[in-house]
Amino acid sequence: MLTCANSNQQQPWNSSLPTLVHLPNCKTQFDINQIHARLLTTGFINNSYLTTKLILCFSSSPHAPLIRFARHIFFSNSNYWSSKTEDPFLWNAVIKSFSHGDDPKQAVFVLGLMIENGVCVDKFSFSLVLKACSRMGLIREGIQVHGFLRKVGFAGDLYLQNCLICMYVKCGCVEFARQVFDGMLQRDSISFNSMIDGYVKCGMVTLARELFDSLPLEMKNLRSWNCMISGYGVVEDGFTIAWKLFDEMPERDLVSWNSMIHCCIKSGKIDLAHSLFDKMPEKDVISWAKLIDGYAKLGRIDIARNLFDEMPERDVISCNVMMAGYVQNGVFSEALEIYRNIISDGNLAPDDTTLSIALSAIAQLGHNTEGVAIHSYITENGLKLDGKLGVSLIDMRRIASSGRGDLFRFGQLVSSRSSN
């Protein structure tokens, strides 16, 4: 709770200092309402210095109410969006709140406002909008931004060309990315790695290897090697080449080790994967999860469980992997026990995958009451049922109900729990 009016008795009411002091402490809509009330009652809403500080502070906040308020202050003050400023830093802050936030497409709209109002646009403005296009797959808007870059003379900027390559790759247009790459007068390691990564993700490992081999030695870094190892890891008969690359690497990181372990498992070499795992200088939850998943898929669920128990720390993904392994091997009660431990422990929050696996186990065991409890959890936490979670819930009701009486009983349980 904020107490803006009385927080600093040494400052007069018309001082902006108490408001500035409280900005970093804001988190909730209630806090915003207090700040907004103070701005209105003191007239500070018209103080450009204070509102600028507020916009810059709130637009990068992890709290949604603060971001929305920053945008409201910005767009409700015509001095910001109608003045032909040569420094777009405030505009860029607002664009970033969209491009990195929950509504990336609006970043394109804000860029349009900048251009329409004659505001100076810099390369960071464009890079943020291209980031938004990458996140949302907005290829048409991305191409429009590319065309505008050509028009204003920014198309040759190395930083923006790398942004364009990344955008085209993320949108699945690797051929357009290659056109940008081939037209570059200067390239750096980011240019090469983005293009290599794009080819790998599109399954064009041969083209990725051609670029990798042409990459100057001083530009060949961990990301370059890791991209190629992961690429060969998904190609049939790619294990030998991946292993050779892994052996030739001048240095390795966690991604390198995890990628090679995944490649071993995919090639049916679980013992070699375990040997690599034991040699790792450091491990993360992904390392453990990959090996657990590998053993579980081979039906060696006892070894998978031993690894799970040995983990120094677990996250929801590793729990999901172990639960899925139990379900795949028909050990439904153990899968459900892990779910119960997640709920009772309180340190981890189950995600859609956790709940879906738990529902599958419940369906096989016929534990309708626990199914109702999960249904209530989904409802109480506002989780969407339009994906795999909804399908799992329907399947549970269908499988768990061997007769019409059981299905009716499940419906009664759901209705009584909902009414409570």
DSSP-derived secondary structure for 183-196:
T-SS--HHHHHHHH
Choice between 262 and 391, residue whose per-residue pLDDT is larger: 262
pLDDT at 81: 61
Q: Where are the domains of the chain?
A: 1-81
Nearest to 276 by CA among 241, 300, 252: 252
The answer, yes or no, to whether residue 409 has pLDDT greater than 90, is no
Q: What's the Rg (C-alpha) of the chain?
A: 27
Per-residue confidence at 19, pLDDT binned at 50, 70, 90?
low
Q: Where are the alpha helices (DSSP H) in 77-186?
A: 78-81, 89-99, 105-116, 123-136, 139-152, 158-170, 174-182
How far lies 61's CA from each of 26, 101, 215, 319, 368, in Å? 9, 10, 39, 31, 42
Q: Look up residue 223 and give its two tokens.
A: 């990301």
How far lies 224's CA from each of 126, 189, 193, 196, in Å? 26, 8, 6, 7
Distance CA(338)–CA(333), nearest Å, equals: 9
**129-144 residue pLDDT tens:** 999 999 999 999 999 9
**162-178 residue pLDDT tens:** 999 999 999 999 999 99
pLDDT at 6: 39
What is the pLDDT averaged over residues 123-133?
96
What is the pLDDT averaged over residues 31-41?
80
Give how far the C-alpha of residue 49 lies from the chain's centroid of Cα atoms, to the nearest Å. Answer: 34
The answer, yes or no, to whether residue 18 has pLDDT greater than 80, is no
Lowest mean pLDDT among 209-218, 299-308, 344-353: 344-353
Nearest to 198 by CA among 148, 164, 147, 245: 164
Which amino acid does the sequence have at 388? K
pLDDT at 1: 33
pTM exceeding 0.95? no
Q: Look up residue 15 and give its two tokens.
A: 């001082």
**87-105 residue pLDDT tens:** 889 999 999 999 999 899 9
Per-residue confidence at 3, pLDDT binned at 50, 70, 90?
very low
**192-210 residue pLDDT tens:** 999 999 999 999 999 999 9
Place of tokens 């290829």: 139
pLDDT at 83: 62
On whether the CB atoms of residues 292 and 321 are closer than 8 A, the answer is: yes
Per-residue confidence at 36, pLDDT binned at 50, 70, 90?
confident
Q: Look up residue 405 and give its two tokens.
A: 């009486």
**66-85 residue pLDDT tens:** 899 999 989 888 776 666 66
